[in-house]
Amino acid sequence: MDGDTFMILCAGEALIDMIPNADGAYVPHVGGAVLNTAVALGRLDVPTGLVTGLSSDPFGHMIDAHLTTSHVDTSHAVRSNRNTTLAFVHLDGGNATYSFYDTETATSAIAPADLPTVPAGTEAVFFGGISLCNLPVADSLTNMALGVPASTLVMADPNIRPGFATDQAAYRARLERLIGRADIVKLSDDDISWLIPEGDLAAKSEALLAMGPKMLLLTEGSAGATALVKGGATVRVPAKRVEVVDTVGAGDTFNAGCLAALRSAGALSPAAIPTLSEAVLTDMLTLAARAAAVTVSRAGANPPWTNELD
Paired residues of 98 in beta bridges:
89
| CATH top class, domain 11-305 | alpha beta
Of 295, 301, 299, residue with least CA distance to 309: 295
* SS3 label, residue 50: strand
Pairing type for strands 184-188 and 153-157 reads: parallel
Residue-level pLDDT at 241: 87
- Return the ∠ at Cα 258 (arms to 234 and 310), rounded to 5°: 115
Please write the tens of the pLDDT for every residue from 119-150: 989 999 999 999 999 999 999 999 999 999 99
Residue 221: per-residue pLDDT? 87
The DSSP code for 45 is: T
Q: Are 74 and 50 in contact (CB under 8 A)?
A: yes
Instruction: Summarize pLDDT for 161-173 with one digit per residue, the tens.
Output: 999 999 999 999 9
Average pLDDT, 10 consecutive residues per value, the chain (310 residues):
69 94 92 97 98 98 98 97 95 83 96 93 96 98 97 97 94 98 97 97 98 97 94 95 88 98 98 98 97 92 94
Phi, psi dihedrals of residue 30, rounded to the nearest 5°: -65, 135
